[in-house]
């Protein structure tokens, strides 16, 4: 009887429309990074793709492929790939990238205990399409090995976190009592430091800055209670499980605009805030169980009196969510795009990318699935997503074993917004769960201008 009921449920689920990629973007020449294409970015009619690259000797390192949309609707490739110059010996470049407007930020991670840095580029009339501009660093008196652990920029402001997110390798995690999020502003000749945001150490905000999102003068900072640990690492827990929202006033001052907390029945999800995304009016938050396989994506919206809970995102019943549900999130033209490289759907290759829309009844439902018509790397579909307007970029990392070289990304164009179907059975609507009271906003800590 159970089997029959399940079959009827699957049959009753309305089919979700699918859309195939509008362009396949491959690097213009062979690539060095074994996962080239894992790191992607999009801003307007320009797209970038890269992959992590370790340095032994320093110097010029890494490859950033750049693509430009032409008036014909075709994407062209800049003939040269941009590298990162003046890389220090033993650093790892291009593990993370943020791109908006004409500004691009990439990380240079240090492994010797000294401060890491963030290298900035700006659009230029060059064979690669870029010009290396400057390096963002914390104050010299305050070494920050994890500087650049997460990045966000809107092209005018850059946010750089210092929380140590490393879970692999033989390096132990550096635990700080109150990590910082440094702020920088684009000026005529480069970037200038504005100081940093820091949560009260008494709250034990061990992972403040684990995730960042920035749009329309709204900065969202994830502060989970814990993040995943490697086998050789002990699970570290902080006191906080919160997402802090800051808003920039017309005079340039930053103040707390709200503090989001997990619903009361999900307090065992220590990873609330491991991923965040925002368009300035809505915030999507991923929460995970850390020690288990549970993962959820919750939505909040700006109400008349502050931020309010707005529902949970759950796919149709033919998709089995994995531990990677919501590992990457993006907002595209009012819709929320969710990636999960561990999701299962029948006998198909693992991975999922879907768009959710808010219907007239106030519920969030799965309205569209992104389905590639070309080969993608196993267990990597949905590992990284970026969006700008109705254009969605999905990583297509290289895999020599599977013949996917040199790697790059797929472009999808979402149709114009329409009402989503009613929310699927088993999902949670905004009226089902009451949001736990937020902590009263506190003032940002006094800050010290970085370099």
Tens digit of each residue's pLDDT (9 = 90 or more) over 229-255: 777 777 888 988 999 999 999 999 999
CA dist 365 and 435 (Å) reads 20
CA dist 363 and 253 (Å) reads 35
Helices (H), 192-254: none
> Given CA atoms 374, 397, 20, 75 in this order, what sign does their dihedral have?
negative
Q: Contact 162/146 with Cβ under 8 angstroms?
A: yes
Residues across the chain: 451
Q: Tell me if 431 is assigned to some domain.
A: no
Rounded to two decimals, what is the model's pTM?
A: 0.90
- pLDDT of 121 above 90: yes
- pLDDT of 3 above 50: no
Q: Tell me if 37 is assigned to some domain.
A: yes
Helices (H), 282-388: none
- pLDDT value for 172: 64
Q: Tell me if 3 is assigned to some domain.
A: no
Token pair in block for residue 371: 């389905």
- pLDDT of 167 above 70: no
Q: What is the domain extent for residue 47?
A: 17-413
Q: Tell me if 439 is assigned to some domain.
A: no
Q: Tell me if 450 is assigned to some domain.
A: no
> What is the enclosing helix (H) or strand (E) of 3?
helix 2-12
Which among 100-104, 167-171, 359-363 has the top mean pLDDT? 100-104
Q: pLDDT (tens digit, 9 = 90+) per residue, 370-429?
A: 999 999 998 899 999 999 999 999 999 999 999 999 999 999 999 998 654 444 433 433
Pseudo-torsion of CA 397, 402, 405, 408, nearest 10°?
-20
Q: Tell me if 449 is assigned to some domain.
A: no
Token pair in block for residue 201: 């150490």
Among 11-20, 70-79, 374-383, the range scoring the smallest mean pLDDT is: 11-20
* CB contact burial 101-130 (16+ within 10 A = b; e otherwise): eebbbbbbbbeeeebbbbbbbbeeeeebbb
pLDDT > 70 fraction of the chain, expressed in percent and rounded: 88
Q: Contact 420/442 with Cβ under 8 angstroms?
A: no
Question: What's the rounded mean pLDDT across residues 345-369?
Answer: 89
Q: Tell me if 7 is assigned to some domain.
A: no
Number of CB atoms found within 10 A of residue 302's CB: 19
- pLDDT value for 170: 58
Q: Tell me if 228 is assigned to some domain.
A: yes
Question: What's the rounded mean pLDDT across residues 254-265?
Answer: 92
- pLDDT value for 362: 85
Parallel, antiparallel, or unpaired for β 92-100 and 117-123? Answer: unpaired
Q: Contact 320/345 with Cβ under 8 angstroms?
A: yes
CA dist 150 and 220 (Å) reads 12
| Mean predicted lDDT score pLDDT of the chain | 88
- pLDDT value for 437: 33
Q: pLDDT (tens digit, 9 = 90+) per residue, 272-313?
A: 999 999 999 999 999 999 877 899 999 999 998 899 999 999
CATH of the domain at 22: 2.130.10.130
How many structural domains is the chain composed of? Answer: 1
Q: Pick from 180, 142, 153, 200: which is nearest to 42 by CA?
A: 153
- pLDDT value for 350: 86
């Amino acid at each position: 009887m159970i089997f029959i009921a399940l079959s009827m449920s699957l049959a009753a689920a309305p089919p979700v429309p699918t859309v195939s990629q509008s362009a396949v973007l491959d690097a213009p020449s062979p690539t060095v990074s074994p996962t080239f294409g894992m790191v992607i970015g999009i801003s307007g009619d320009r797209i970038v793709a890269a992959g992590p690259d370790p340095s032994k000797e320093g110097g010029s390192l890494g490859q950033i492929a750049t693509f430009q949309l032409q008036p014909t609707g075709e994407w062209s490739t800049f003939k040269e790939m941009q590298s990162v110059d003046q890389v220090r010996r033993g650093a790892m470049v291009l593990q993370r990238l943020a791109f908006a407007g004409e500004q691009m930020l990439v990380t240079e991670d240090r492994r010797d205990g000294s401060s890491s840095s963030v290298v900035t580029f700006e659009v230029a009339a060059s064979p690669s399409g870029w010009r290396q501009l400057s390096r963002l660093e914390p104050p010299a008196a305050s070494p920050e090995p994890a500087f650049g652990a997460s990045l966000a920029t809107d092209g005018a402001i850059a946010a750089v976190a210092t929380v140590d997110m490393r879970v692999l390798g033989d390096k132990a995690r550096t635990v700080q009592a109150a990590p910082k999020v440094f702020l920088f502003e684009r000026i005529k000749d480069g970037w200038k430091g504005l100081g940093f945001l820091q949560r009260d150490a008494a709250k034990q905000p061990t992972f403040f800055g684990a995730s960042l999102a920035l749009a329309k003068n709204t900065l969202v900072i994830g502060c989970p209670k814990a993040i995943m640990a490697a086998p050789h690492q002990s699970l570290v827990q902080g006191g906080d499980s919160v997402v802090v929202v800051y808003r920039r006033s017309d005079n340039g001052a930053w103040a707390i605009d709200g503090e989001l907390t997990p619903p009361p029945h999900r307090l065992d999800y220590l990873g609330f805030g491991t991923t965040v995304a925002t368009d300035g009016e809505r915030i999507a938050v991923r929460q995970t169980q850390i020690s288990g396989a549970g993962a959820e994506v919750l939505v909040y919206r700006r109400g008349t009196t502050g931020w309010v809970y707005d529902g949970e995102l759950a796919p149709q019943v033919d998709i089995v969510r994995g531990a990677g549900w919501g590992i990457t999130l993006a907002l595209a033209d009012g819709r929320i795009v969710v990636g999960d490289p561990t999701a299962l759907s029948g006998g198909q290759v693992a991975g999922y990318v879907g768009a959710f829309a808010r219907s007239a009844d106030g519920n969030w439902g799965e309205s569209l699935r992104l389905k590639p018509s070309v080969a993608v790397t196993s267990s990597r579909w949905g590992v990284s997503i970026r969006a700008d307007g109705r254009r969605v970029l999905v990583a297509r990392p290289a895999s020599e074993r599977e013949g996917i070289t040199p790697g790059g990304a797929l472009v999808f164009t979402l149709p114009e917004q329409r009402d989503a179907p009613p929310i699927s059975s088993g999902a949670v609507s905004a009226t089902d769960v009451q949001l736990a009271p937020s902590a009263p906003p506190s003032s940002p800590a006094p800050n010290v201008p970085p370099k």
